[in-house]
Structure 1
Amino acid sequence: MAQVRITQQGTIHCFPAGLKDASGKLVNAEISAVAYDGERLLMASDKPIPGEGRSAVFSLPLDSSGPDDSQLEYLTAARIRQAVKYEDFALTTDGRHMLATTGFDRIDSESHDLNDYNHLLIWPLDEPDKVQVVDPDPRDGVEGSLEFRQKLDAAIGEPYYKIEGLAVVPSDKGDGLLLFGVREQGNSHDDFQYVRRVIGARYALTDSDNIEFIEELHDVYAFDPAEYAGVRHECGLSSLEYDPYHARLYLVTSFETEQAGEEVIGGYLWVLSLADFHAGKAPTLVKNEAGEVLEFEHKAEGLAVLDRERLFVVYDNDRNYALGSVDARDERHACEAPYTLLTLT
């Protein structure tokens, strides 16, 4: 049985309070991705954070007292600032490079207006200014991972989809198996199904610190949460995270629905060994220390393995400001992002 206990909760100030976008609307922290490099947390909002010297991607140190947002630093390389709707990060298996994916949930075939939503990026871990686009369009001046999007189209086989998970696991060939978690797929953004589907392909690192796929993207894994007692809501995949300490994979699913006219959000955490993952076996639904299903009260969108015993969870609650048990206050400020630190028991 996989069990965890909540050891810390709180909020992170992601940008100055009262920050507004160009249209005068209050900017909202919607944290959808998190990674940990051994010293600092790397986070991203799936909405832009405007202003000179800012971007949707930022890092901050993590110490024994928790994340320290007084030392928050934005990653401001042009390509990092250009990409829109970040959904997940992944460290390469050697820990030397960071990968980041956007949602790939929209494209304009008649123009390049929506290319910013279609980016797979890579950079040397401590050198984000050396960021590169993976599988870029070969035409000069056309931005985005448009060659990669064609591979996604072929592998997923649906007109519409949304990528929300990213992880790298060891592989018998190349430098790793790069996994992409599909949350939604269907005919369009308003005609889709929630899924828990993982596609992937082996890759090799190039001498120029980029990656090349050495096989076609293909289906790797899928599961159905509805088969589990204690899962009360339909949910889609929202994050993937490889745990190198225990050779296993974590999967996060989240839900957003209505009951009696009220919005209900939350999520679940799942885990399975790499051997079971490759064998297509069902994951284990993580429980709390009381032995009950761990149901997040917020929309869990990102997970980072901190060490052998601790996990860090971030939430994208969209315009839902309720804090619940995270804080004594009823509501967060728009600039704040809630988080939870879990310890394995």
Structure 2
Amino acid sequence: MQARPLYHNTLHCFPVGLADERQQLVHAEVSAVVHDGERLILGSDKPIPGIERSSIFAVDLDDQGHPREETLTYYTQPLIRQAIKYEDFALTVDGHHVLATTGFDRIHPEDHSLNDYNHLLIWPLGDPDRVQVVDPDPRDGVEGSLELRQRLTAAIGMPYYKIEGLAAIPSDEGDGLLLFGVREQGQHFDDFNYVCRVVGAHYRINEQGQMTFIDEMREHYTFEPGLFDAVEHLCGLSSLEYDPYNHRLYLMTSFENEQGGIDSIGGYLWVIDMADFARGRVPALVENETGGPLVFTHKAEGLAVLDHERLFVAYDNDRELALGDHDVEREQKYACEAPWTLLQMMQ
């Protein structure tokens, strides 16, 4: 399968020059995006300060699939503002609810000071005011999806991991199968390996919009990008996205490493149909129009399916401001801007 970039641009996610409480410049680090049928919902893996703002915001699209900046609105519900480090969004299989996951990459062994990094949130489509925590700790006053964290730890089998993918796919059991993409795993946050693993469990949603898991979390898929000759970088999973129009799953991988003394960031896109996914077969590496691998020149972390053939890709370049070949008119972006690409998929 091939992909053709239709358009590159940047999205202003907050005012130019916005600073945090330490007077440090805030950077737009968009790591999650989903299309709800009408608009894009985007998430940053870093807090965006201001009582009128949050790390999740929505923007309408024009007829060409480009974000309309003047429509940007923040989701400021307390639960949404509380959770930290959003890494991926998804729609439930029936399209009636939005799901948002944080990275689950840190927890304090003795207190609840890091619980905000361990949240899976759900809200009805178009109604974020009714947001709820999925699989919360049963104890009163303890916040976070700590029961879910235990399920993830049991399935992944490592004390340290980072979740960066989320997708709900159809299933004969329950309302669907919720998949979590694992990017890092190891003994500690400074002792890990990049991986491309997918774990998940079947779920149901009741009339009150509460999601429950109906079986054990387990591994459903894994692959090794480094086994492909065309892949020249060590990378880990950075996003999952179910394509309901074509009944397939997209997997995005990104890299951030040093080669020849030069820091290198970017990513690759992969696709697999659901039958091959269930059989554990390798995905196809998406190619460019000349038959080579499609290589993103920014750290690709957010992916949204817009329709039968178009994808929206959002990038999290951390504090890197260089635009490279993303913009022919300027070399750098503002810290408040998030680069994005509109892709057309071709058979």
Within-5 A mapping of 1:1-345: 2-65=1-64, 66-327=66-327, 328-345=329-346
1: distance between equivalents of 2:82 and 2:145? 12
Distance 1:308 1:108 in 2: 43
For residue 268 of structure 2, what is the amino acid of its counterpart? Y
Moved more, 84-93 or 204-213: 204-213
Cα distance in 1 between the residues matched to 2:227 and 2:262? 25
The one-letter amino acid paired with 1:74 is: Y
Q: Aligned AA for 2:338?
A: A
**Aligned-pair CA distance for 1:69:** 1.1
Residues in 2 aligned to 1:294 and 1:33: alpha-carbon distance in whole angstroms: 20
Q: TM-score, normalised by structure 1?
A: 0.99
- Once residues 52 and 210 of structure 1 are traced to their aligned partners in structure 2, the CA distance between those partners, rounded to angstroms, is 27
Letter in 1 for 2:275: A
3-state SS, counterpart of residue 277 of structure 1: helix
Question: For 2:236 and 2:150, how far apart are their aligned partners in 1?
Answer: 23
Separation in 2, partners of 1:155, 1:229: 30
Shift of 1:4: 0.7
Provide, for residues 248-296 of structure 1, a one-character-per-residue CA deviation record: whole Å limited to 9, x for no partner: 0000000000122221000000001000000000000000111110010
Structure 1 position 230, deviation (Å): 1.1
Alpha-carbon distance between aligned partners in 2 of 1:12 and 1:237, rounded to the nearest angstrom: 24
Kindly report the root-mean-square deviation, in angstroms, between the aligned alpha carbons of the 2 structures: 0.7
SS where residue 106 of structure 2 aligns? coil
Cα deviations by residue, 1:6-46 (Å, 9 ceiling, x for unpaired): 00110000000000001110000000000001211000000
Whole-angstrom distance in 1 between the partners of 2:242 and 2:133: 23
TM-superposition CA deviations, 1:42-90 (whole Å, max 9, x none): 0000000000110000000011241111110000110000000000001
Superposed CA offset, 1:219-267 (max 9, x none)? 0000011111210001000000000011000000000001222210000
The letter for the 2-side match of 1:221 is Y
Give structure 1 stretches of 5+ with no counterpart. Answer: none
Counterpart AA for 1:187: Q
Q: C-alpha distance in 2, partners of 1:231/1:168?
A: 27
- Identify the range of structure 1 (201-210 vs 334-343) with the bigger mean alpha-carbon deviation: 201-210
Deviation at 1:325, TM superposition (A): 1.8
Work out the CA distance in 1 between the residues paired with 2:133 and 2:43: 17
Q: Could you tell me how far 1:336 is from its partner in structure 2?
A: 0.1
User: Counterpart of 1:37 in structure 2: which amino acid?
Assistant: D
- Equivalent residue of 1:192, what SS? strand
> How far off is 1:207 after superposition?
2.0
Amino acid in structure 2 at the alignment position of 1:219:
E
DSSP-derived class of the 1:230 partner? coil
Distance 1:269 1:260 in 2: 24
How many angstroms apart in 1 are the aligned matches of 2:63 and 2:341? Answer: 14
Residue type of the partner of 2:25? L
Q: Tell me how far apart the structure 2 counterparts of residues 215 and 137 of structure 1 sit (CA, whole Å).
A: 18
Letter in structure 2 aligned against 1:306: L
Deviates more, 1:147-156 or 1:190-199: 147-156
In 2, the alpha carbon distance for the partners of 1:278 and 1:187 equals: 29
Q: Measure the CA separation in 1 of the matches of 2:330 and 2:216.
A: 49
Deviation per CA, 1:120-176, whole angstroms, max 9, x where unpaired? 000001110100000111111111101111111111110100000000000001000
Q: Which deviates further from its counterpart, 277-286 or 62-71?
A: 62-71
Please give the alpha-carbon distance, in whole angstroms, between the structure 1 residues aligned to 2:324 and 2:299. Answer: 12
Distance 2:181 2:74 in 1: 26
Render the CA deviation track for 1:301-338: whole Å, top value 9, x for unaligned.
Answer: 01000000100000010011111122121111000000
Number of aligned pairs? 344
Instruction: Give the whole-Å Cα distance in 1 for the aligned partners of 2:258 and 2:100.
Output: 31
Secondary structure of the residue aligned to 1:151 is: helix
- Aligned-pair identity in percent equals 64
2:56 and 2:286 map into 1 onto residues whose CA distance is: 29
Displacement, 1:115?
0.5
